[in-house]
């Protein structure tokens, strides 16, 4: 990838939970941000634009072979440069064309150069997405020696249902509670369900200890359950409705280490 001054750097899905802005306390993150802004003196550290509206951006290095992400630095940048770095998010919000123009202006390059760089960034993004969990290496001593880094604990989820199992559940003619659809997002640690004929869902661990209870009023609710920080061996769900109860097969949770 050409060494542009401003680059598209798509954070891999497995690292989305590792953002310091999410893992640190708001107090600690504010300490880091303010020191970044003071160092930059209201000037974007990439394009040089003078602005009081700076963003703190984490620059990570990814070692695919060893599944390690290392924090290289935290820089203060303007919102336009930030929009280029996170180009896909800019596209999603409708600012993709503006981000492209800013990339070309800062790097003094053509639209073809931009297209080539974007293609390379997407290929690298997909390659890094083969890793579900990254080990973080972070040194924040230049900001505050008392800031503690907590590696998020996000176990792997094993789906206990095969496609044939779901087809049987979907074709079952019954007014009892049931599961219509299951998706597992192991990047974010999510179990995503579509259920029917139920008004309450209870999540329990392998010892039948209740983890969470929610009530629903929709006929076919879409439910998301995150396993972040859960250190039990497995979880089950109990669907309750006016016509009975359905107890799921256990979703096994494997340690990310």
State how far Cα 199 lies from the chain centre: 29
SS (H, E, C) 152-205: CCCCEEECCCCHHHHHHHHHCCCCCCEEEEEEEECCCCEEEEEEECCCEEEEEE
Task: Identify the CATH assignment for 156-254 out of 2.60.40.2890, 2.60.40.3080, 3.10.450.50, 1.10.220.110.
Answer: 2.60.40.3080
Q: CA 257, CA 154: separation in Å to the nearest integer?
A: 10
Full-model pTM: 0.83
- For the chain, the domains span 13-137, 156-254
Q: pLDDT tens, 132-154?
A: 999 999 999 998 888 888 888 99
Give the pLDDT of residue 21. Answer: 87
Mean pLDDT value of segment 230-239: 95
Banded model confidence at residue 166, pLDDT cuts 50, 70, 90: low
So what's the pLDDT on residue 152? 85
pLDDT tens-digit readout, 77-136 = 999 999 999 999 999 999 999 999 999 999 999 999 999 999 999 999 999 999 999 999
pLDDT digit string, tens, across residues 169-224: 655 656 788 888 899 999 999 999 988 888 999 999 999 999 999 998 777 788 99
- pLDDT confidence of residue 173: 59
Q: What percent of the chain has pLDDT over 70?
A: 96
């Amino acid at each position: 990838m050409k060494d542009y001054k401003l680059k598209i750097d798509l954070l891999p899905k497995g690292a989305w939970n590792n953002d310091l802005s999410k893992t640190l306390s708001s107090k600690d993150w504010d300490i880091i941000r303010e020191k970044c802004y003071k160092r930059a003196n209201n000037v974007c550290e990439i394009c040089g634009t003078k602005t009081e509206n700076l963003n703190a951006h984490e620059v990570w290095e990814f070692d695919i072979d060893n599944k390690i992400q290392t924090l290289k630095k935290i820089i203060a940048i303007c919102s336009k440069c930030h929009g280029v770095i996170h180009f896909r998010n800019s596209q999603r919000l409708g600012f993709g064309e503006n981000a492209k123009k800013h990339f070309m202006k800062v790097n003094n390059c053509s639209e073809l150069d931009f297209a080539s760089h974007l293609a390379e960034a997407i290929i690298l993004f997909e390659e890094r997405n083969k890793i579900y969990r990254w080990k973080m290496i972070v040194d924040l001593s230049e900001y505050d020696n008392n800031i503690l880094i907590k590696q998020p604990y996000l176990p792997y989820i094993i789906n206990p249902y095969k496609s044939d199992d779901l087809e049987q559940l979907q074709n079952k003619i019954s007014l009892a509670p049931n599961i219509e659809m299951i998706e597992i997002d192991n990047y974010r640690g999510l179990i995503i369900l579509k259920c029917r004929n139920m008004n309450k869902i209870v999540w329990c661990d392998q010892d039948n200890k209740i983890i969470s209870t929610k009530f629903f009023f929709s006929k076919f609710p879409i439910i998301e359950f995150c396993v972040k920080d859960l250190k039990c061996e497995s979880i089950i769900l109990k669907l309750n409705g006016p016509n009975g109860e359905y107890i799921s097969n256990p979703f096994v949770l494997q340690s990310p280490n």
